[in-house]
Structure formats: structure tokens, C-alpha cells
Structure 1
Amino acid sequence: MSSEDVKALRHDGKPGNRLFFIGHVKGLALQITPKGSRSWLCRVTVDGQRRNIGLGPYPTISLSEAKRQAQLHHAKAYAGTDPLQAREEAAKAREAERAKALTFEEAARRFLPSKQAGLRNKKHAAQWESTLSEYVFPIIGKKPVAEVDVEDVQKVLLPIWLKVPETASRVRGRIEAVLNWARVMKCRPANMANPASWKGNLEHVLPEQRKGGKHPALRLEQAADWFAALRQMPGTAARALELQTLCASRSGEIRGLTWGEVDLERAVITIPGARMKAGEPHRIALSSAAMKLIQATPRTPGQPLVFPGAQGRQLSDMSLSAVVRRMQAKAEAEAIKRGDEPGKAGWRDVETGKPAVPHALRSTFRDFASEIGHFPRELAELALAHRIGSKAEKSYWRGDMLERRRPLMEAWAEFLGA
């Protein structure tokens, strides 16, 4: 059969594909579908079993090329090699080579959509990509994902490990997740340990982040759910903790807050130096959510405290901690009802697994400012009433940048869902 004869072949219109054996090579046929698409097929027999091997579309693959390929497959079959199996193994080998060449950034970008799809909050989803882009890709993004080792992970983490510990911990976890995905997708050897894992690995080579331990912090991914649960809690202590969260303040600053320190017209709280850790007055820019909370708080004649405790005295720090413990206990009880493990329920620190405590909300706020809000470091530090810069640097500062801090506090309240 000539090339012109092959070109003239047509489907008969009946259901199913049609095979036209060409005759030049045993088993070589042109397959035509009812819709008219054409492709080459070669039938060979290996160990008494028939193999149908596709050779490609016609006319992309010409008659002469189809004959050449068919002859090669028959030669392999005659030698005892299964051509179909050989092709599959070659394809796997090529895929393995491509997997070895896959860079960490390429692996991360293939992994991210599936991870982000499981996150309800769009900001949390964006946070994954932003932290990887900022801290990881510039250092190991172009390195083959199959070759990333402990030294590479250290290069990423050491510059930020002590500077922004919560952010660094989350970056470590995200690197670990990408490398786990790469192993499952066979882009890393199955027997290769994850160099970003913490237990028995990085815990032995990274310095301690804070001497004397750190407060178990609320994860950014859980902040909105935590705040929603807090707003469901009754009582004065719960409302004080709500304001403390919105203002990113220390417990004592809110527990001792008086009506004389609140300026509702200017939406600002001014805490005197005598009540501040640094001994200097501190102003807090109130978000609209914080304003609504204060405005809704009942005011007792003759009572100076905004959130008085029993018998009109100042709330204790334990009162606010008790609110968090009740929230945690409720979450664990609900986990038991669902049949889940209570030890993992609620709101826990990403490293220690311990339930978050009120003071660590400031750490969560700091992470939000840098990771999601992308606000200047100085604004976040001023909002937290931290000292910034040397004496020489401070001489250049004018005021406390109160109005520039206001968008930061609004963004924080919006992030919490307030």
C-alpha cells in the first residue's frame, strides 16, 4: 500500500474504530476513529501475548517513519524485550530526570495551590506565598528540590531565627511541607530525611530563640477563629482581653485602663508612664472596632476603671488567662465529641503544641504586621511600645507616629474579623 493509498483510507461510518493493516510490516495498521482522526498502531507478540503499541498520529508520523518504528518494535520483540514495557520504563526514566531538575521554587509553586485551597482565609493563603518569596526563594529557590539539605535550610533560617522568631518558625514549617510534597511526588528520594524537620534535626543545630523560654503564641492561621471564639465569651474579663487583643497591648495596660485615659473624640488611649513597662507615656491609636467596644462598655458612676473586677477592683492577670483556658477547654470538649484528639484541639503554639497565652498575642500581632500587613518595622514596634533604635536614631524621630499607626491597627482589627 502506497502513501496515496493510505491517504485515501476512510472510516465506514459504523460505530467503533477501524484498523487498516498496511502490509509493509507485519502488524502495522492505520487506526481511524468515527470522527476521522488517524493514528498508527503496531501489533507485536511477546511471550505469546499481543501488544498494541501506538506509534503516533498520521500524517505527523509518515508511512515510512511508521514502518521504521514498527520494524524496531518487532526486532525488540524477537529479542525477547517487551516494547511496550520498555517504552514505559523509558518514560519513567525521563520523568525521574525531570524530577531531579525540578527546583525548590518550582516545587513550591506546584504545591501551593493545593495547600491554599484548604485555607479558608485568603490572607492566610497569600501569607504562604509571600513568606516563601521573601525568605526562601532568594536563597534556595533555584536549587534542585532533590538536593536541598540541612545547610540550605540553615542558610534560610539563621538570618531571621532570632530576629523574627515566630515568622522563622512558620517559614521552617513551610519549607518542610514543600519538601514532604516533593518526596510524595517522587521529586526527592523516598528514603531521604526532611532537612527542615524540627524534632531530632534542626532542634540540635539552631540556637534557642528566647532565653528562659517563650510564651506559647497563637498561630496567624488561627487568629480570626480564636478572636471569634473570644467574642462569644461572656464577662468583663473577656471584654478586657478583646480590647487588649485589638490594641496589641500588655495585660496590665488594659486591666488598669481608666476612663480618663480614653479620648473617644480623637480615638486614642494615652497610658501614663507610671503604668508602662518602659516608664514612658504611650498612646494607642484605636481602630473603629476598638472604639465600638469601648463605647458599648457600661460606665459605672464613680468607677474610674473601664473594666472593673470584683468589688470594683482591678482585674487580675489570672482573670484574663482564665478566659483563654475556658476557651481552650471548650475547644477540647468539642474535639472529644467529634472523636478527635483533644491534645491537638484549640489554639496552640506551632513549636511547643502548648495552648496560646494572652501575652503572646503581641507576638501574633508582630507577625501580622510584617508577614501580612507589610507595615514598616518601626510602626509595629511603636504600636507595641517597644524602644526602637539607638539614642542617635531616636533624635531624628518626631513624635510617636500615632496617625501613621492608625491604618496598622485598622488592618489588624480587620484581619481578626472585628
Structure 2
Amino acid sequence: MFDADLAGFGLRVTARGTKTFLFQYNAGPHVKRRVVIGTFGAEMTTAQARKQAEVLRGQVRESRDPVAERRAARAAALEAEARAKAAEAAARYTVTAMIDQWAEHHLSQRSASYRRRVPRELKAALSDWKAVPAASFAHADAVRVLDAVKAVRGPVATNRLRAVARACWGWAVKRGAMERNPWEVTPQPAREVARERVLSDAELAAIWHAAGRLGAPWTAILRLLILTGQRRGEVAGMRWAEVDLEAGVWSLPGDRTKNRRPHDVPLSAEAVGIIRAVRRRKADRLVFEGVNGNPPSGFGKMKARLDAALADAARQGGPEVAPWTLHDLRRTVATGLQRLGVRLEVIEAVLNHVSGSRAGIVGVYQRHGWAREKAEALRGWAAHVMRYVDGGAAVSNVVPLRKAR
């Protein structure tokens, strides 16, 4: 029922006897609106309800729509609350938090050394932004980081940083954690070409001898890199449980290889001798046990010491070694095996490559492990290296293991 004196003011009584005050008005042709004012009794008296109805009536006379205004106010409040929650979540989603989540979820299938190294290097390059919300990291910030890294570490290292940073932010964008990737349109610091540096036999022998001046663990690590052609992280992280010195086999589990596949490396007599000479303490888990039971770190400092030793040897009449990287040792082993007439499939098996002849459908159905061939190849390679280390061969005297095919 409606009040006779105040148009639109009414009282609705339900079957249970609940009495509710309301105000009804026209919001346009054929459009009626109702505003619930309150419940009669403890909540509201008739006089209070009438006063509110009079206010609503005044709003209608001013061509306002109280219901629409209330809906808009509620929507604005919900939107403001959502924005506040989003801002709070964005503030918590810092650059460090994003990198940690990326490493945990996206890098879970990569090798353990990669999962440790890449997030650490990325955080180091972004040290000034680690506590900053990732969404606020701008394109100009990315360019500034790249310029700083390029000035200190050079263009190739900057290319690597740009690639992993783009991947990290891109992962976050795909997950809806942010809307844009500030690294996407940054300029590439340098154009890269495929690496082709292969050390000569004389250079390899010079590195072998210079490594002897470094002491433990680097002398053994470098010489094993030369003899086996394996990755530096795999050699440095070698575990005693992986090596069978009697059988002459080093068995890498899948979680320690780049392609996540188990890999058996035949050990030549020279490689076995190097490992046997390592001083082993009872509690050691790793062959080259470092601080806190971790593999040795500091490859950059070691390489600087090694280059200094090579330069000193060159001044005393030894061969000059042109600029090189540790990864060049792996390429040199592959090229050396090829020069010795080893089949491509065997070389790829030695290096644990899943590419070339072992890729695609061939890799699915070709399950031959090449164990005998790998052992023969690495024995031949060790003999070849030791001839130059001992100074008993000329560079041109390469004796193939078999006729090249």
C-alpha cells in the first residue's frame, strides 16, 4: 500500500507479516523502479522511512535515477576493490618472484646446472630491480640493463641475457601475470655467427701443460675436458657414484645432461689415471668437491689464470694460443675425432648430441648405443693428444683410426 500524501512511498507486507518500506518511481516511459528503504520495527520507524522517501522523491524531481546511481556506486566500489587487489598482487609479484617462479615451473626440465646458473645470472644483471614489481619494469629499463651489461661483459653475453630475459617475461605474459614484455622490442646487442674456433694440436698441448700450473681441481678438470669432450658443468659436477674406474666408464644420469638423456662416457686410460689421482675424502660425494659440497665455481677466474699461464709460456718460446673459450675444447674434440676418421654417428654419441644423424625419426628408431665405437674413438683421441703433449709428433702427422667414410 502507498502513502496518500507522499507519491511513491509505500509499505509492503509479506505473508509472514514482515513490513518493508519502499519508494517507487518512473525512470522513463514504461520503466518503474523500486528502492527498498528498510524494515519497519527495530531497524526503522515510519518517520525515518518517510524522511528517506522524501529525499528520494527530491532526486527524482531533479531527473535523477536513484536505483541506477546505487548500482553505479556498487559497481565502482567493486571495481575499486578489484583494482586495489590487483595492485597489491602486482606489488608482491616482484622481478625476483617472477624469476623464481619461471625457474621453478618453466626450467624444471632443464639440467640442474642450467637451473642454477641462468636465474642467478639474470638476478645479478637486474640487481637494481629485484624488489620492483615486474609489471613496472619498462622498455627503457631493459635497454639500460643491456647497455650496462654490454659495457662490462661484451655483446655476446648481452645477447644471452636478452634471450633469457625475453623468455622469462614472455612466460609471465602467457600466464596472465602481466600484459607486456618490455624485452620484446629491445635491439639485439650484436649479430652472432656460428662459432668455428678449433684449437690446433699445438694449442691443445699448450693448454694441457698450462693447466698443470693451476693445481687442484682445475688441472684435472681441464685435462678431462680435453680427453672426453664433455660439457664443463658435467665434468666439474662429476660424482664418484657415476664413475666405474675398473670398467673405465663414466655414467651420467639424465638429470645431469643438457638433453635429459643418460649418457655413458668411456674413459681412456689417461682419463682414468687423472680421476684416480684426485684426493678423495671419505665424505666426498663429488670427485671435485667444492665449498659446502658443491661443484667448484669460478670458471672465469680460472680461465684468466690459464690465459696468463699460456701467455707466459709463449714468452718462453711456446706456441701462441689465439683467443679461445672453454667450449672450444668440445668443438676441438669433435673436429679431432672427425680428422681421425671417426664416423659422425659415433662423434655425436660421444658428445651426447641429439641432432644431425640422431635427430627426427632416425633418433626414435636408432637405439644402438655405440659403446664399443665410442670407447675406441676416445682411446684413439687420448693417444693422439698425448703424442702432442709429449712432443712426439708433428702437426701434419694425423694417424686415422680407420679409413674416413
On whether the aligned pair clears a TM of 0.5, the verdict is: no
Normalized against structure 2, the TM-score is what? 0.44
Larger radius of gyration: 2
Normalized against structure 1, the TM-score is what? 0.43
